[in-house]
A and B are shown apart, each in its own frame.
Chain A
Amino acid sequence: MAGAPRTPFSRPGLVALLPFLWLVLFVLVPLAIVFKISLAESVLARPPYTPLFEWSGEGWPQLRASFANYTLLIEDDVYRRSLWGSLRIAALGTLAALAIGLPLAYAMSRAPRRMQGTLLLAVMLPFWTAFLIRIYAWMVLLRNEGLVNLALRALGITDVPLAMLGTEGAVVLGIAYAYLPFMVLPIYASLERQDPAVLEAAADLGAPPAAAFWSVTVPLARPGILAGCLLVFLPALGEVVIPDLLGGSGTLMLGRTIWTEFFQNRDWPMAGALTILLLVVLGGPLLWLQRQQARLLAQAER
């Protein structure tokens, strides 16, 4: 007897192959190339690095891999400080986005149903303006003669303009501002799903609103908060434009250092090694997120 009739859907293997192919072509292959470059040495040539294999004309081609760039990563203070700067600024930016995003998402989820669509649109509205322009706008706001300083002086809070532009604080602010929607949306999604009766139950059992918020709302929104924090932290870690425009010359972040190595020093191998470092740093939290999600899924199925 013949087996079940064949339909295009009876072979999911082929369909799964497509995203896999995409990943190989546009993620794994470029990554391999970057890794290859990071093992080379910088030379004044075109391309500006030594080949990985050298063929002297006879016998087997010789492998010429050097881990010098990676040793330099550890030895040279600049790179360590860039990594530390990236982690610190991205973490502060994430905390700032969380401090603004959590109340914002909470307020949105408690707003009347018919207003929630409009509020969601308002959160995403900044995306309609180019990213670069929005960061430039912050330069205008934060500089010595900018609106913020004008307002502070008009209010009599300060006599001399505060130097805000070119500080680490400005970079943290820029990150919090630029990535706020990525914080708000997942938190809102997890709050919006919550049964309002659960909060009433908390009140009924003696929890005043603040206690109910911390003991019920926040724990239930944990998956959203986690996702929001990673969605802000991970891209902020490699951020180039914000530290470049809002930060000072002393604001060291990995993305910016990679940019400098690549375009100013024309040291492609070093830039490659830094990229691999950034990837390893990003990989940790990503794996952690995946484990958390797998755990939540397993819990939901039990």
Chain B
Amino acid sequence: MPPALLALRGVCKRFGAVPALADVGFNLAAGEVLAILGPSGCGKTTLLRILAGFEAPDEGTVALDGRDILPVPPWRRPVNMMFQSYALFPHLTVERNVAFGLRQERLPRAEIAARVAEVLALVRLAGLERRMPHALSGGQRQRVALARALAKKPRLLLLDEPMAALDRRLREETQVELLALQRRLGIACILVTHDQAEAMALAHRIAVMEKGRIVQLGSPAEIYRRPANRFVASFVGDASLVAVRVLGQEGGMLAVVAAANDTLHLSVPASTAPALPPGGMGWLMLRPEAVQVAPASRTEDAGALAARITHASYAGALMHYRLALAEGIELRASRPAASGDAPPFAPGDAVRVSWPPGAAVLLAE
């Protein structure tokens, strides 16, 4: 394994009595994009500020290229940040904003001009060199902030909620552009976001944080398919969660029964289930798109369960349903809306639901 570009070990930070980070550690490879995903207040911004040098951890080590960077002040770290508010210098033109970091290095004038022109072309801002920041649109400001950080050719680029200030359509376009740019430059990035879609679209790996801890670190697909716990399952994507009690293993499947209803027997693949003893409590998770819904009149699906539609909403390509599966157990299902012959179900309809055997995942408490 090549040595990691960035290595964090046991990083802790408290603000007064409030722990902001507890034992955070991970490696980042060169060229890798890691998304730190979590709700506000989970400590993800504190982590980013420690990497930039604006905060010092109480404990732990941070090494970049094998060297401890904690004693290095922010202005000497080969790390640059794109701020959530962009923090452009309002008194400087686009050109001077981008050149700011290079002027600090006292590079020759001609080299500064060349680098500025290069990064401005990279973010497609050529022609706006003499504009002041207040005369730019939100998307243009964001690209100036990115260009300003890229101009320094950092070893590590930090992105603090890079899309938060953009509207939805622009956000999607910018994601595509940012992704293409990152893959082209091969620059290592740490991206902080509360938007799971953004994390999935941009990152090679995602670290999901809750209350100052990394609760799961893995590829977007791992995190989506095999969430480590209930928090991750509900934070990343939509999920139905059913409280269940483990009965025992039968062949390759683990038999469970719903905690709220003793008659509702279900099963999950044992290979993916956590080691829970018979009688142990856990959560059965189902992604809405895995849940198949059929009219109650069709009887061909043997393993299907009877359910009732409680809520239906139209979302263009998809229909979102909420289903009552026996007493007090709710499932969510998303089905393609334009299936032509099959009319969408309406609230009150009796239906039968089923899912592929591997779709259900058991989570420990």
Q: 12 A-B Cβ contacts within 8 A?
A: A198-B90, A201-B89, A203-B53, A203-B54, A203-B73, A203-B74, A203-B75, A204-B149, A205-B100, A205-B104, A205-B149, A215-B100
Return the contact of A206 from the options B87, B105, B134, B135 (Cβ within 8 A). Answer: B105
Give chain B residues whose Cβ lies under 8 Å from the Cβ of A43.
none
A203 to B100, CA, bound (A): 11
Count of chain A residues near B, Cβ 8 A: 21
Query: What's the nearest-Cβ distance from chain B to residue A24, in Å?
Result: 39
Interface residues of A in 258-302 (CB under 8 A from B): 299-300, 302
Contact stretch, chosen from B56-64, B78-86, B117-125, B177-185: B78-86
Is there contact, CB below 8 Å, between B132 and A299? yes
Closest to A219 in B: B91
Give chain B residues whose Cβ lies under 8 Å from the Cβ of A202.
89, 100
Is there contact, CB below 8 Å, between A205 and B83? no
Count of chain B residues near A, Cβ 8 A: 27
A300 to B73, CA, bound (A): 34
Is there contact, CB below 8 Å, between A205 and B85? no
Is there contact, CB below 8 Å, between A200 and B87? yes
B42 interface residue per 8 A CB criterion: no
- Contacts A204-B52, A206-B101 hold; do A220 and B91 have CB atoms under 8 A apart? yes
Give chain B residues whose Cβ lies under 8 Å from the Cβ of A220.
90-91
Closest to B105 in A: A206
A119 to B73, CA, bound (A): 30
- 9 smallest A-B Cβ distances: which pairs? A205-B101, A206-B104, A197-B87, A201-B87, A203-B74, A219-B91, A203-B75, A198-B87, A206-B75
* B 148-160 to A, binary, CB cutoff 8 A, 1 in contact else 0: 1100100000000
Query: What's the nearest-Cβ distance from chain A to residue B243, in Å?
Result: 44
Give chain A residues whose Cβ lies under 8 Å from the Cβ of B100.
202, 205, 207, 215
A188 to B135, CA, bound (A): 26
Give chain A residues whose Cβ lies under 8 Å from the Cβ of B148.
201, 205
Give chain B residues whose Cβ lies under 8 Å from the Cβ of A197.
83, 85, 87
Give chain B residues whose Cβ lies under 8 Å from the Cβ of A216.
89, 91
A211 interface residue per 8 A CB criterion: yes
Is there contact, CB below 8 Å, between B104 and A211? yes
* Residue of B81, B135, B152 contacting most chain A CB atoms (<10 Å): B81
- Contacts A203-B75, A204-B80, A206-B105 hold; do A300 and B89 have CB atoms under 8 A apart? no
Interface residues of B in 16-65 (CB under 8 A from A): 52-54
* Residue of A204, A208, A211 contacting most chain B CB atoms (<10 Å): A204
Query: What's the nearest-Cβ distance from chain A to residue B144, in Å?
Result: 11
Give chain B residues whose Cβ lies under 8 Å from the Cβ of A201.
81, 83, 87-89, 148
Interface residues of B in 91-122 (CB under 8 A from A): 91, 100-101, 104-105
Query: What's the nearest-Cβ distance from chain A to residue B98, in Å?
Result: 10
A159 interface residue per 8 A CB criterion: no
Interface residues of A in 180-218 (CB under 8 A from B): 195, 197-198, 200-208, 211, 215-216
Give chain A residues whose Cβ lies under 8 Å from the Cβ of B83.
197, 200-201
Is there contact, CB below 8 Å, between B152 and A205? yes
- Contacts A195-B85, A207-B100, A216-B89 hold; do A300 and B134 have CB atoms under 8 A apart? yes
Give chain A residues whose Cβ lies under 8 Å from the Cβ of B52.
200, 204
Query: What's the nearest-Cβ distance from chain B to residue A298, in Å?
Result: 12
- Contacts A206-B152, A220-B91 hold; do A302 and B75 have CB atoms under 8 A apart? no
* B 309-345 to A, binary, CB cutoff 8 A, 1 in contact else 0: 0000000000000000000000000000000000000
A177 to B91, CA, bound (A): 31
Give chain B residues whose Cβ lies under 8 Å from the Cβ of A205.
75, 80, 100-101, 104, 148-149, 152
Give chain B residues whose Cβ lies under 8 Å from the Cβ of A302.
132, 134-135
Query: What's the nearest-Cβ distance from chain B to residue A56, in Å?
Result: 66
Closest to B104 in A: A206
Query: What's the nearest-Cβ distance from chain A to residue B230, in Å?
Result: 35
Give chain A residues whose Cβ lies under 8 Å from the Cβ of B104.
205-207, 211
Query: What's the nearest-Cβ distance from chain A to residue B112, in Å?
Result: 13
* B 224-247 to A, binary, CB cutoff 8 A, 1 in contact else 0: 000000000000000000000000
Give chain A residues whose Cβ lies under 8 Å from the Cβ of B85.
195, 197
